[in-house]
Amino acid sequence: MAARYVLSRSGTQYRFVLKAGNNEIILTSELYASKQGALTGIASVKANSPEDSRYERKNAANGQPMFNLKAANGERIGTSETYSSTQAREAGIQAVKNNGPTAPVDDQA
């Protein structure tokens, strides 16, 4: 299966996840008030994911490595899962860089 953005509804709000070809979630969005807002978020991931400077590498509250993808204006577009090592985090970032720009949208909303 190829990588894809899965757009879904959560109550009255919308969110998307970027799934890798193995169906693992590699990036999760915030909640959006409208479907168009979520689609704009996907477009922002497509535009910003190739740029290494857009990735905020940090540790979660539990100390595990994770990352945020940010837009040019500094706003967070998506958040990763937590990883077991910094090397695993870098592999997650590379997966977003590789898949983010071209993955199709699977609209389930």
Backbone angles phi, psi at 62, to 5 degrees: -85, 5
CATH numbers and ranges of domains, the chain: 4-107 (2.30.29.80)
The predicted-structure confidence for 60-86, as pLDDT tens digits, reads as follows 999 999 999 999 999 999 999 999 999
- Radius of gyration over alpha carbons of the chain, in Å? 13
pTM: 0.93
The predicted-structure confidence for 41-62, as pLDDT tens digits, reads as follows 999 999 999 999 999 999 999 9
Q: Which two tokens stand for residue 36?
A: 């168009």
